[in-house]
């Protein structure tokens, strides 16, 4: 019973540590020549911030981005990036700014998936209470953290394939539209050429108002 009780306490403590992390996963559309910003609060210095984004559709699948501290200092920035995955330590308490800018495009709207995660680093404290088996507790925590890491890797892989699927669908849709309009223009060209040929033939066989039969 003591072992089961210890494992249960360890599992509950792990859930408590996991609850310290909060994340925001969103999808936003950014119009041409537009700038969109999102914000995340950091309660104490030393927290980890994870920032992921990927352009799903629009133009060449690229976007400008910038991450700023509460003081306005730029931490990360990039131009014409298709996707990014960053983790950094927040040394300043306050509101962090995550901005996307679509200045390079004059007509095309961009669709961007992004994920902002703020979490505290979990610290393990050795148990001094009698009756608790620290070796089993430590082994259980190690297994949970490994499982968490594996789940994060699966999540990143899913995001990668989701992005590839959306980009492929956007390319196929764009190609279909181009083929459609190319077919329309080709048909109009053939019709115009036929009308022009009829006109030329009628003009060639007409002379001073008299029509000759052949």
Domains of the chain, by residue range, sit at 2-152
Q: 2-152 architecture in CATH? A: Sandwich (2.60)
Question: Quick one: average pLDDT of 145-163?
Answer: 76
Residue that the structure tokens 């309660």 belong to = 43
pLDDT confidence of residue 53: 92
- pLDDT tens per residue, range 34-53: 999 999 999 888 898 989 99
**Better-predicted residue by pLDDT, 9 or 200:** 200
Of 11-15, 83-87, 150-154, the one with minimum mean pLDDT is: 11-15
pLDDT confidence of residue 18: 44
**Average per-residue pLDDT in the chain?**
77
> Structure tokens of 109?
């709207």
User: Is the C-alpha dihedral spanning 81, 84, 89, 93 positive or negative?
Assistant: positive
Contact present, 35 and 100 (Cβ < 8 Å): yes
- pLDDT tens per residue, range 55-73: 988 888 889 999 999 998 9
Residue that the structure tokens 């920032």 belong to = 51
Question: Could you tell me the pLDDT band of residue 21, with boundaries at 50, 70 and 90?
Answer: low
The string of DSSP codes covering 170-201 is HHHHHHHHHHHHHHHHHHHHHHHHHHHHHHHH
Question: Could you tell me the pLDDT band of residue 22, with boundaries at 50, 70 and 90?
Answer: low
Percent of the chain whose pLDDT exceeds 90:
22
- Cα–Cα dist 110/59, whole Å: 7
Of 53-62, 133-142, 143-152, the one with minimum mean pLDDT is: 133-142
Residue 147 predicted with pLDDT over 90: no
């Amino acid at each position: 019973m003591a072992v089961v009780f210890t494992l249960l306490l360890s599992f509950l403590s792990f859930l408590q540590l996991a609850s310290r992390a909060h994340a925001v996963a969103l999808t936003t559309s950014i119009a041409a020549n537009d700038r969109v910003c999102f914000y995340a609060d950091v309660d104490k210095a030393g927290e980890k911030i994870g920032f992921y984004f990927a352009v799903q559709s629009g133009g060449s699948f690229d976007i400008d981005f910038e991450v700023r501290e509460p003081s306005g200092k730029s931490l990360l920035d990039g131009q014409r990036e298709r996707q990014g995955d960053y983790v950094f330590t927040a040394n300043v308490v306050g509101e962090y700014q995550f901005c996307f800018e679509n200045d390079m495009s004059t007509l095309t709207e961009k669709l961007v998936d992004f994920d902002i995660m703020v979490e505290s680093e979990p610290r393990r404290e050795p148990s001094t209470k009698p009756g608790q088996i620290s070796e089993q507790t430590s082994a259980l925590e190690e297994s949970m953290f490994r499982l968490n890491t594996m789940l994060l890797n699966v999540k990143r892989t899913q995001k990668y394939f989701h992005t590839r699927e959306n980009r492929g669908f956007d390319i196929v849709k764009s190609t279909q539209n181009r083929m459609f309009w190319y077919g329309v223009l080709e048909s109009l060209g053939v019709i115009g050429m036929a009308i022009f040929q009829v006109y030329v033939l009628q003009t060639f066989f007409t002379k001073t108002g008299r029509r000759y039969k052949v």
